[in-house]
Chain A
Amino acid sequence: MADTARLDTGAPAAPGAVTGELPPLRAVGVHAGYGDRAVLQGVDLAVTAGRITTVVGPNGCGKSTLLRTLGRLLTPTGGHVELGGDRVAGLRPRELARRLSILPQSPVAPDGMTVRDLVERGRHPHRPWYRQWSPEDVRIAKEAMESTGVADLADRALDELSGGQRQRAWIAMTVAQQTDVVLLDEPTTHLDLAHAVDVLDLVVRLRAEGRTVVTVLHDLGLAARYSDWVVVMKDGRVRAEGPPADVLDATMLADVFGLDAHVFPDPYDALPTVVPTGHA
């Protein structure tokens, strides 16, 4: 934890760490990278249950790498990841997929695949190999489409949909997977503001259903508005973490992003608002 320097001393520690209760997802001294290129340089992070945790940081800081390592898409070269106290490295693929889902950045489906087809794939880890469909799978896929607002699009092909609709369909698939932990890698990439907000409203809904969500976001304004906990990364390390209002300030932006910005509380709801003024 030595290099997890908290910029804001007032930030409360993660409740999991205080109460001793097991965090649903935890990274312990994680190092990871691609080939010879080390990206994560010892990351310690305890994700709190039932919260939206958002990882922010400049391009190339290791946000996606951290998320991929947490979701076991990437094997750490050092340290380990725990899911509810179990090391993910030791879990069988299906077991892991019943407890944690990860939606990668800009996923691609085969041409002509319908929303319903896609959402039903979310039932894959729950279905034994000898069985095609159970009425329960059908019901859960239907509910997932309803709760994500894509039920009307069920028989439309994914490639006919707008970017926002498509992203909601992918999230519906992870909802149908019924995992307690959901990781979303830049779910708002390539979306205009209205669609991005649509998707993030959906993320809030996942939290309301009791899920633990970890996302990566680029937009600091959206991160401030939609996160319970913000993790700031730079150069493969966690530089700061805490509630958005405590973490997002002008000093941090200059230090981590090299960005000169005014940060002030929104007059309506007091959430931090970031207005860039130039480069530091």
Chain B
Amino acid sequence: MSPPDVRRRAPRQALLLVVLAAVLAAALLLSLMIGSRAIPAGDVLAALFADVDSDDATVVTSQRLPRTLVALAAGLALGAGGALMQGHTRNPLADPGLFGVNAGAAFGVAVLVFVLGVQAPAAIVLAALLGAGVAATLLFVLGLGALRGDALVMLAVLGTTLAAFLGAFTQGFVLLDRQTLDVMRFWDVGSVAGRDLSATALVLPLAVAGLVLALLNGGALSSLGLGEDVARSLGTGVLRARVVGIVAVTLLAGTTTAVCGPIGFVGLVAPHVARRFAGHDYRWIVPASALVGAVVVLVADTLGRVIAPPGELQVGIMMALVGAPVLLVITRRRRLVAL
């Protein structure tokens, strides 16, 4: 490859985003077409844009469209969140759940079912969101000192500790109560199908806010890749960048987990794939990682519908099945970058 001319590079990376967006559009279409009943692309488009009344049209608009949109949002959020998390912790193994957000959400759901005996889908989403928010706030208060200096890793350690602590309660509730067990064993497997749409709509603005903050954080994050001292020397407000990043990750991971339950691997894998194309500039890595995340979740969810007929595999399981080999391939072909 000839050395890229500086003037041409930004357009090249913009082109990459366009290509990724096109792949995403294809994944969206496939997600609407494929399932226990295969529906041709023409009929899918007709069901979406023309007023058609058929069984296929009903399947597309009432079942596949909602789950496709949820998968799209979850993938965008987890991809962007993962890029931010890896950038801020300078740790290639970081994922957006690292700050104890997922454990907090699980704890919220367990408390709801065990203590209040409520298990309405909308209530579960809100309880998970509340749990994630409380965990994040707790961590933020405990770890505020760690924001100064290169000790952001402390925050991840605190997050893992908090996750173990909350997990103990969640497991206790599950062991003590059959009803909690039944709810949690399904919640624990992340899924984009059959989500409660009214609760999802309520959560959506938070996810959008998280995504906007994540995109704005890219420039500062690129500077932080050179170390905090150099970042400061380049005029980056380090503390502000950290706070924006942490709030964004929390919003992205918290909302996704609240709606879908925990979906692993996306936030871990997507940034590595994005980085291979987008280089070292987080102003490109963050959007590229979001798009890759969306494609990965959509493909995993679509595959899950046809891999074990007549049943379905939830996207959380599919992600582990697909994501683990992908990560292995990446690590074997090229050592994980030190960030």
| Chain A residues near B (Cβ < 8 Å) | 68, 71-73, 93-98, 101-104, 107-113, 116-118, 120-122, 124-125, 129, 132-133, 135, 138, 141-142, 154-155, 174, 177
Q: Could you tell me if A73 and B233 are in contact, using CB atoms closer than 8 angstroms?
A: yes
Q: Could you tell me if B223 and A109 are in contact, using CB atoms closer than 8 angstroms?
A: no
**Which residues 275-310 of B sit at the A interface, judged by CB distance below 8 A?**
279-281, 283
- Which residues of B lie under 8 Å from residue A138 when comparing CB positions? 6-7
Give bound CA distance, A174 to B229, whole Å.
Answer: 13
A110-B280, A129-B219 known; A104-B235 Cβ under 8 A: no
Q: How large is the interface on B (under 10, 10 to 19, 20 to 34, 35 or more residues)?
A: 20 to 34
| Chain B residues near A (Cβ < 8 Å) | 3-4, 6-7, 10, 216, 219, 222-223, 225-227, 229-230, 232-237, 279-281, 283, 337-339
Q: Could you tell me if A104 and B227 are in contact, using CB atoms closer than 8 angstroms?
A: yes
Give 7 A-B pairs besides A103-B230, A104-B227, A107-B226 with Cβ atoms closer than 8 angstroms: A71-B233, A102-B229, A102-B233, A109-B225, A117-B279, A135-B7, A138-B6
Q: Could you tell me if B229 and A73 are in contact, using CB atoms closer than 8 angstroms?
A: yes
Please give me the residue from chain A that is nearest to B240 by CB atom. Answer: A93
Instruction: Give min CB distance, A271 to chain B, whole Å.
Output: 31
- Which residues of A lie under 8 Å from residue B6 when comparing CB positions? 116, 120, 133, 138, 141-142
A107-B229, A138-B7, A155-B3 known; A121-B222 Cβ under 8 A: yes
Give bound CA distance, A174 to B219, whole Å.
Answer: 18
Give bound CA distance, A124 to B279, whole Å.
Answer: 17
Give bound CA distance, A95 to B236, whole Å.
Answer: 10
Q: Which listed residue (B216, B227, B235) contacts A107, Cβ 8 A?
A: B227
Please give me the residue from chain B that is nearest to A98 by CB atom. Answer: B235
- Which residues of A lie under 8 Å from residue B222 when comparing CB positions? 121, 124
Please give me the residue from chain B that is nearest to A125 by CB atom. Answer: B235
- Which residues of A lie under 8 Å from residue B216 when comparing CB positions? 129
Give bound CA distance, A54 to B27, whole Å.
Answer: 60
Give bound CA distance, A73 to B229, whole Å.
Answer: 6
Instruction: Give min CB distance, B69 to chain A, whole Å.
Output: 29
Instruction: Give min CB distance, A73 to chain B, whole Å.
Output: 5
Q: Could you tell me if B234 and A113 are in contact, using CB atoms closer than 8 angstroms?
A: no
Give bound CA distance, A135 to B10, whole Å.
Answer: 12
Please give me the residue from chain A that is nearest to B283 by CB atom. Answer: A132
- Which residues of B lie under 8 Å from residue A133 when comparing CB positions? 6-7, 10
